[in-house]
Homo-oligomer: A and B are copies of this chain.
Amino acid sequence: MKPGIPKGTRDFGAAEMARRNYIFDTIRSVYSLYGFSQIETPAMENLSTLMGKYGEEGDKLLFKILNSGDFRGGITADGWTGKTLGQLTTALCEKGLRYDLTVPFARYVVQHREELQLPFRRYQIQPVWRADRPQKGRYREFYQCDADVVGSDSLLNEVELMQIVDTVFRRFGIRVCIKINNRKILAGIAEIIGQADKIADITVAIDKLDKIGLENVNAELLKAGITEENVQKLQPIIRLSGSNSDKIETMRHSLVCSETGLKGIEEVEYVLTMLEAQGSLHNEIELDLTLARGLNYYTGCIFEVKAMDVQIGSITGGGRYDNLTGIFGMPGLSGVGISFGADRIYDVLNQLDLYPEEVRTATQVMFVNFGESETRYLMPVVARLRENGIRSEIYPDTVKMKKQMQYANAKAIPYVVLAGENEMESHTVTLKNMVSGEQTQLSIEQLVACLCGA
């Protein structure tokens, strides 16, 4: 008989929210340090905005909102049984819940084009909804944390996004490897083996190198219709190793006949040089030719972030795209973006136990309630602490001390303040350290000093 929530959705309690806020606040503050401005778009978009943007499968995974009022509208009994589900959906629903932040952002840019300053650096941290089959780590409601720059072709944007990634994970204390590649290099590879049409197959196959090993990758390439000779030509590329500059030199030779490929090399080299010249990255950055990512969407640099100390998929990703807003009638706008995977970052921080102390402690001090006169004595003290930024609670009910202490323990409140007749007479309080059990009698001034320093 207990009430529940829809499958694939979650409640976030106090401890989880403190952690999630820490993640979002950290990302938010780094984004704004780099001049990105936050925007928010409505949870509901017109279905005409959303449909057809995520493929046929995506259309099915959109949550649709039943029209208000008489939704039966023009659908007759014959129509009800005769029309397709798609036709009925269009008749019943005008709105849907956003599926990601990218399409609403594209819609936003086109709708507000006259007010926007280009290049436009925006970030957006909001939930999205997908009617996916729920499973471990996959939810029907989850947050995305995206930043994009649109209206600038400059590779400096790529450089800065890598710095943002590096800074965010440095602040989290998570060691990561930032993998970078370029779609133009992948296109060049397909080109030089004379099988430009097979670029999708090639990329899908070599993307699996880590998982299935070289032999199986080669088998998949052959199965996809790549000739034996071309599979051989691909070997030095697939097995490419060494430093980033070694890889760049090798690839510059391999791709000498592909203008596109060389352009990709040049772009990656620029980004790496700018980052390395500065010596500003704390994490490793690695040119990884097997990195593919959402093949149809990206057109230039692509990146992905792996945690070094936890086995988990990519925790951040992004890249350059050329035509974000074309579908809404505004062609030729280039952009580049990243997206932090908040749920996975949450898991990594949990596994490595990296949350700072202030995230673990909600209320810092609780005042025990012995009755009305004690409460009157304590109220100004509580107020003093709060004025000094100390998160304080006074237990609201005059109940047994044991119950109050249990409450403080269960909430992991580190300090408890007690005041009875003795303290009231001497204008003091007793401060109890809930970890050590130590008790000290202090003046109000001493209490403030002690807790402000704690």
B-contacting residues of A (Cβ < 8 Å)? 1-6, 9-14, 17-18, 20-21, 32-35, 37-46, 48-49, 60-61, 63-66, 68, 70-72, 75-78, 80-81, 85, 88-89, 92-95, 97, 107-108, 110-112, 115, 117, 119, 121-122, 127, 129, 131, 140-141, 149, 152-154, 156-157, 159-160, 163, 167, 274, 277-278, 280, 328-329, 362-363, 366, 369, 375-376, 379-380, 383, 386, 389-394, 396-398, 407, 410-411
Contacts and interface: CB of A to CB of B under 8 A. Distances in A.
A393 B411 CA distance: 42
A197 to B, nearest CB: 34
Ranked 8 nearest A-B pairs via Cβ: A14-B37, A35-B393, A9-B42, A154-B396, A77-B77, A80-B80, A68-B131, A35-B363
A219 B362 CA distance: 54
Contacts of A17: 37-40
13 contacts: A2-B111, A5-B111, A14-B122, A18-B38, A35-B363, A44-B63, A66-B66, A117-B410, A152-B397, A156-B369, A156-B396, A277-B376, A278-B380
Chain copies in complex: 2
Contact of A37 (B71, B115, B362): B362
Given A11-B39, A376-B274, A3 B141 contact: no
Given A32-B391, A33-B392, A156 B3 contact: no
Given A43-B97, A149-B396, 19 more contacts: A4-B46, A5-B49, A9-B43, A13-B112, A14-B39, A33-B386, A33-B389, A33-B391, A34-B386, A44-B141, A60-B68, A72-B81, A80-B81, A119-B407, A153-B397, A160-B396, A163-B383, A277-B376, A277-B379
Contacts of A140: 44
